[in-house]
Chains A and B, each alone.
Chain A
Amino acid sequence: MFSDFQNELHYNQLYPDFGFNTVLFENDFKGIFPELFLVLTILLLLVYGVILSTSKEKKYPLLIGNIGWLGLLGIFLTFVLLIKNPLSDGLIFYNTLIIDQETQFFKIIALGGSFFSILISLDYMKKEGLNGFEIIILTLLSTASILFLISSADFISMYLAIEFQSLCFYVMAGSKRDSEFSTEAGLKYFLLGAFSSGLLLFGCSLIYGFTGITNFTELGKLFTPGGQELVTGLYSLRGCELGMIFILVGLLFKLTAVPFHMWAPDVYEGAPTSITAFFSITPKISILAVFIRVFLEGFYDLMIDWQTILIFSAFFSMILGAVAALSQNKIKRLLAYSSIGHVGYLLVGLCCGTIEGIQGLLIYLVVYVLMTINIFGIVLFPLRREFINSVHRIKYTTDLGMMAKTNPVLAFTLTVSMFSIAGIPPLAGFYSKAFLFFATLSSNLYLLAVIGVLTSVVSCFYYIRVVKIMYFENPKNWLSFSQIPKESALVVGISFFFILFFVFYPSPLYLATHKVALFLSL
């Protein structure tokens, strides 16, 4: 007993900077084992792809399907490694990365999200002629960066991971080179993304300049009421607040929250639909994870400041998401605005800053991811053949006309997920919203709750319009749909069952999110 204590003392003297659970540097690689595996897989796949796709004997094969399936296998194995990782708690790599229950939870969602979104887009990419296997590689790379971003515990690692992620995204958005929309989307995304990264970096450097700290946990310690020397001594609290606001703005840019949302609809529309599906699912997960990490750990004691800004942003995100989507005819733009609205709801959960708030956010996130996957799984599927080899895609909402007659099962699935995303009980989307509003009320943000429910009614208009188009309207020209690919059918089926039957057994999700939220707030 005594010797243990002495050992610990000894280590603390040797490695004074180490945090709670870390004992030795040699354990660090165990901590990032999933990420390590994923990165190695990607490198292997890259080499494999480059060599094989340029080989003359094999007649320059198109590797998108092959690499896609191998990548999916890689993600699956990463997932297994993540769950079975013996090291589930600790600060690693000199306090730059953290692994705990929160990162575990977010990583599971992120891996699931990217797994499903690759799965639903394989067929799309093949048929659409996005033949470069590099898209899959980039998707996997961004997944790896998302994993790093989720577990970053330091401004430097956070910024590096965000940049890693964003660079992959810029290339992915512009990946369809023969389409003007796609190149424009890539350019727009790049410019605004680089700008927001600049803001983020400026915020980080302000914080570092005024405090000399880049670590979230230490930053949190500095701002506790004990650390009054900041206020009284160096007059740098204002500087820290400024830095915090820049960081906030940078992250809100990445999240497409309202005053900084302007790129989202264009990028969502311009990028190939499979990429859009990926965009609307995974970055939200990672950015929200780091959002929670920075603001509930680092800046928790400046909550009054950031809460106000977040309330503002959430308020207008909800309103814009509800109102602007009303007049959209293109389904991808509609989904883009709807995702802006949903970001508003997610931010509402963050505004609360309570256990219920975080839990509401996590539940909402999981349900939102599954609903989005479901909708994109249907939007992605091949629509009509005008010529033998051209596949048209669902572009306008009216393209879905009379889907109820041609593809009744798909139409019913889409109906259910539209009702769910509009928040109609007894579907999953309702429960997530109800819990979020409960959290909002319990932290006295009454205005946000009222606006939240009212905008959810307004947004019903356009979600239900899709249902109306599918069921009640007679289209001018009847479109024939080709068969939905098997893997998409699987994904859509799984998410459909989740949405429909969540009512009967919500307990696992509630418990898991509650555990994470408790862990975060303790």
Chain B
Amino acid sequence: MTLLLFCLLFPLFGALILLFVPSWNYKLIRSVALYISLGTFLLSLLLWIQFDNSTGKFQFMQSFALVEHAAKQPEYSSLTFIIGIDGISLFFIILTTFLIPVCILVGWKSIIVYVKEYCIAFLVLESLMICFFSVLDLLLFYVFFESVLIPMFIIIGIWGSRERKIRAAYQFFLYTLFGSVLMLLAILLIYFQSGTTDLQILYTTLFSETREILLWLFFFASFAVKVPMVPVHIWLPEAHVEAPTAGSVILAGIMLKLGTYGFLRLSLPFFPYACIYFTPLIYTMSVIAIIYTSLTTLRQVDLKKIIAYSSVAHMNFITIGLFTLNTQGVEGSVMLMLSHGIVSPALFLLVGVLYDRHKTRLLRYYAGCGRTMPLFAIMFLFFTMANLSLPGTSSFIGEFLVLTGLFQTNTFVAVLATTGTILGAAYALWLCNRVIYGIGKVYYINCFSDLTRREFFMFLPFVILVLWMGLQPEPFLNSLHSSIGNVVNHPFWK
């Protein structure tokens, strides 16, 4: 049993234990869930320690045949549960395991109904997402891509805040499902053509150019919804606004990464021709998304929606970076994914802090938090700065690398994308201004409390990570180099 498998089964094991704890004993439940998820986090850190940076191969490989007698039945030879990680998936797994304890901590006081189910849902979700990032079989990739929908649907629907949550859960579910069934068809078509769904074999498979284009489009339909690209991004603000804080953390931190991770893992290496063919499409859609959503952010009144739209802008920056198809661009976008996976959840947590105290997320009720909640104000300012990629924070590294890569391939798009940074600064500073500065509107809100100790320690790792990644990105980039080199040095692109 490799470490990876252990890491994957540990949360499931925890969920199983929780099933047998009576649900009135919520204190025990949430502490068990917290310890289990922290344990998983430590295990995933061990993964990083044991990770061999010098190779782009998959490590910690393990496989189980789901259908036996493969030799007798060539058509099922591929239906195996293969897991293994390379530099790219390593960090996503760590990000997942890092965010889940936070999710459980954030619901420490605010979740009072269905505590047991809450913890179980998050632990199962964690296990599914680790599976998603480590699985090396195309069909199972789809399975885990989709199966995170069920816990997320329930999380939004049950612990969400308002009546509109049902609509949001529906939208989230159906948009994603609609996108991804086309991917299922594409996967079956690949299976039918090549006779296998093993990713490592498929990396060496060549498709005809027309088929590549078709398959790329089918995959794109699914990933574009998840990313989200502009015409199909509507589900995201809805889902974010209605989700509980922990749900938003997971949505922004990991769910959005599923799409870009899919691009990186499948679209780029599988369809090198189609990737070049569709680069203008991606550039156009992403640039439109960056500018459009940045401008849309300016006119939102809901705090969560503002951050959600800024997430859309960042994610589209990432897709541009992926399709630069050179090392700087792709590495930059992976860094940006990681940094967005830290910064954006932190912002959602901050909004959650406000919401927990005052039960509103509307911007007009808030002002002057700097006077009454100084710690909160510091955190808010810090993460807003990180969000607009101030040099020294993690986002800057990512954005800088993406723009470096982009200037090599397409200067015009690079210029347009750079305007996104300016617009990003515009809405982020505007938001900061309105929440922190000014005179408190005491006729709306008349009791204040600053961050509690639990909340402060919840934010501390985020701050450390942002600064670490911003000032010393070497450890991250070192583990990424060889894996991304594998993707980018495709023979077709040389």
Contacts and interface: CB of A to CB of B under 8 A. Distances in A.
Given A426-B143, A426-B144, A438-B191, A514 B184 contact: no
Contact of B73 (A457, A505, A514): A514
B189 A441 contact: yes
B124 to A, nearest CB: 11
Interface string A318-347: 000000000000000000000000000000
Contacts of A503: 66, 143
A40 interface: no
A27 interface: no
Interface string A420-457: 00001110001000100110011000000110011011
B382 interface: no
Nearest to A444: B192
B150 A454 contact: no
B410 interface: no
B30 interface: no
B158 A472 contact: yes
Given A438-B191, A511-B67, A511-B68, A464 B173 contact: yes
A442 B67 contact: no
A461 B177 CA distance: 11
A76 interface: no
Interface string A18-36: 0000000000000000000
B170 A434 contact: no
A503 B65 CA distance: 12
Nearest to B75: A356
Contact of A454 (B157, B181, B188, B192): B181
Looking at chain A's contact residues, is the secondary structure mostly helix, strand, loop, or mixed? helix
Given A425-B147, A457-B177, A510-B76, A441 B188 contact: yes
A472 B166 contact: yes
Contacts of B189: 441
A425 B181 contact: no
B143 A468 contact: no
B430 interface: no
Contacts of B181: 453-454, 456-457
B192 A434 contact: no
Nearest to B65: A507
Contacts, number: 86
B143 A430 contact: yes
Given A438-B188, A457-B177, A425 B142 contact: yes
A457 B188 contact: no
A155 interface: no
A312 to B, nearest CB: 21
A228 B154 CA distance: 62
Given A356-B75, A424-B146, A510-B67, A460 B165 contact: no
Contact of B192 (A426, A438, A450, A456): A438
A471 B154 contact: yes
A364 interface: no
Contact of A507 (B67, B157, B184, B188): B67
Interface string B160-178: 0000011001100110011
Contacts of B363: none
B15 to A, nearest CB: 13
A471 B158 CA distance: 7
Contacts of B139: 434
Nearest to A464: B173
B66 A506 contact: yes
A360 to B, nearest CB: 11
B157 A505 contact: no
B185 interface: yes
B173 to A, nearest CB: 7
B182 interface: yes
B390 interface: no
Contact of A457 (B144, B178, B191): B178
Interface string B45-85: 00000000000000000000111110001011001000000
Nearest to A442: B192
A520 to B, nearest CB: 16
Nearest to B131: A426
Nearest to B67: A507
A300 interface: no
Given A425-B143, A454-B181, A441 B174 contact: no
B155 to A, nearest CB: 11
A434 B79 CA distance: 12
Interface in B18-65: 65
Contacts of A356: 75
Interface in A30-74: none
Contacts of A507: 65-69
Contacts of A438: 188, 191-192
A116 interface: no
A419 interface: yes
B301 to A, nearest CB: 25
A148 B76 CA distance: 34
Nearest to B23: A408
A224 to B, nearest CB: 27
A346 B82 CA distance: 30
Given A438-B191, A507-B67, A457 B143 contact: no
A57 B170 CA distance: 62
B3 interface: no
Interface string A464-499: 100110011100000000000000000000000000
Contacts of A457: 174, 177-178, 181
B451 interface: no
A511 B191 CA distance: 19
B149 interface: yes
A377 to B, nearest CB: 21
A453 B67 contact: no
Contacts of B149: 424
Contacts of A441: 185, 188-189, 192
Contact of B184 (A434, A460, A471, A510): A434
Nearest to B178: A457
Contact of A425 (B67, B146, B170, B173): B146
Given A438-B192, A453-B181, A454-B181, A506 B67 contact: yes
A475 to B, nearest CB: 14
B184 A468 contact: no
A503 B147 CA distance: 12
A139 B391 CA distance: 76
Contacts of A472: 157-158, 165-166, 169
B425 to A, nearest CB: 39
A346 B67 CA distance: 23
A87 to B, nearest CB: 27
Nearest to A435: B188
A378 B165 CA distance: 27
B174 A460 contact: yes
Contacts of B191: 438
Contact of A426 (B147, B166, B170): B147
Contact of A434 (B69, B153, B174, B188): B188
A206 B2 CA distance: 66
Contacts of B182: 453
A468 B166 contact: yes
Given A419-B150, A450-B185, A507-B68, A424 B177 contact: yes
B192 A505 contact: no
A479 B147 CA distance: 32
Contacts of A467: 153
A15 B157 CA distance: 70
Given A472-B166, A506-B66, A507-B65, 17 more contacts: A356-B75, A425-B147, A438-B191, A449-B185, A449-B188, A453-B182, A453-B184, A457-B174, A457-B177, A471-B154, A472-B158, A504-B66, A505-B66, A506-B67, A507-B69, A510-B67, A511-B69
27 contacts: A356-B75, A424-B147, A425-B142, A426-B147, A430-B146, A434-B139, A434-B188, A437-B185, A438-B191, A441-B185, A441-B189, A449-B185, A456-B181, A457-B174, A464-B170, A468-B157, A468-B169, A472-B165, A472-B166, A503-B66, A506-B66, A507-B66, A507-B67, A507-B68, A507-B69, A510-B79, A511-B69
